[in-house]
Amino acid sequence: MNKTEIEKFQQDLLGWYNIHKKPLPWRKNTEAYSVWISEIMSQQTQVETVMPYYLRFMEKYPKIEDLAAADDDELLKLWEGLGYYSRARNLKIAAQQVMTEFQGQFPDALKDIQSLQGIGPYTAAAIASISFGLPEPAIDGNLMRVTSRLFEIDADISKAASRKIFDEKLIELISEEHPGDFNQALMDIGSMVCTPKIAKCEICPLAAYCQARPKGTQLKYPVKSKKIKQQHIYYNAYALKNTQGEYYLQRRPTTGLLANMWTFPMQEISKEDFDNETLLLPTDLPDSVSRMIKVGEITHVFSHLKWFVQIIECIPEENFSVQEEKLDENQLWVKLTDLSKVALPTPQVKMFKFFKD
C-alpha cells in the first residue's frame, strides 16, 4: 500500500470503530493501570466473563499501590472462577515492581512495561498504544487472523517467529495519531466480524482491502499447526468432615497449577483405578478415618489438561475430634457457610456441590 491507501485504510477502520466499538468498562479509562488489569484478565477468558470481575477488582484495588499491598488469599479469592491463577499472582508482583523500581508510576516505555512480571509483547504493546499513544501493534489472535486474511499471510501463527511478520506488516499500517484505537478496532473486527469460523465480509469496513475475499479463501487463514493432544489425569479427592461440620482442606504448592489454592486432599491415580472406582486412603489425611464412600465424579478442563476426579467421603470414627494446634498454615478446617472467605479453584467449587443441602 502507498501512503494514500494506508491513510484511507486507517480512516475506514477508525470510522467503523467510532460507531461500532464494544462498550467495555475499561475503555472509559485509558490509564495504564486499568488497561493492564483488563488485558491480563482478558487472556484466555471471554470478555463477557471478565467484565464483572474487572469492576470488582477495580473497586477492591483502585490504585496500583493497593494491589501491591494486597493480601494473597483475598487476591486469589477475588480471582476465583477466572482460572489461570498465576495471572493474579503476577499482577501483585508487577505492582510491587512498579512501586519499587518506577517510584509508583507505571512505566511509559515499551521495554520497561515488558520488564514487569507477567507482561508479554502483546500486553505491553496494548498498554503502550492505548495509554501512552505509542504506535506499537498489539498482536493477539484476533489481529493475526484479520491481518492474515487481509494479506494472505501463510505464516504459522502457533510459532513465535511468525509474530515478527505480522508486526512488520502492521507497523506499516498503524495510525500514529490513534494507535490505541487502531489496535482495539482490529480486535473488535476480529471478535465481531472476521471471526474464526465466519467471515462477515458484507459488513466489514476492510473488505475492499482483503486479498483472501475475492478468492473465497478467508477461512483458510490463519495457518495454525494442530494443537498438542490434551493430557488426561485421574484423581481421588478426599472429603473429611469433623463433628463441628467443618471440611478439611489443604493448600496446594506455591508453584504450578492452582498454586496456593485450597482443595480437598487429592491423590493422582491410574485410569484403571479410576475406572474401577478404587478407593485408596492417602497418607496425608488426619487419623481416624473408619471408612470411605464414593459420592460422585467431576471433570474439569484446563487448556492443556483434563482432570477426572472421583470424590470420596471419608467417614471418621465416632470419637474423632479436631486439634486445631496441629494444623499448619497449609491446612484448614472450614464450614460450608465460610467458603466465601477461602480461595477455591473451580474444580473444588464443583466438588463442594456434592455436600451442600
CB 303 within 8 A of CB 228: no
Alpha-carbon separation of residue 287 from 241, 242, 312, 327 (angstroms)? 12, 12, 16, 13
Which residues touch 289 (CB under 8 Å, ≥6 apart)? 240, 281, 314, 315, 316, 317
**Residue 215 zone, left/alpha/beta (φ > 0; ψ -120 to 50; rest):** alpha
Q: How far apart are CA 138 and CA 198, in angstroms?
A: 23
Greatest Cα pair distance in the chain: 84
DSSP 253-279: PSSSTTTT-EE--EEEE-HHHHHTT--
List the strands of the sheet with 305-316, edge to edge.
266-269, 231-240, 305-316, 289-301
Q: How far apart are CA 299 and CA 301, in angstroms?
A: 7
Residue/partner pairs of 99-107 with CB below 8 Å, 24 or more apart: 99/64, 99/65, 99/68, 104/64, 104/65, 106/31, 106/32, 106/33, 106/36, 106/64, 106/131
Among residues 31, 39, 313, 318, which one is catalytic? 39
Catalytic annotation present for 5: no
Catalytic residues: 39
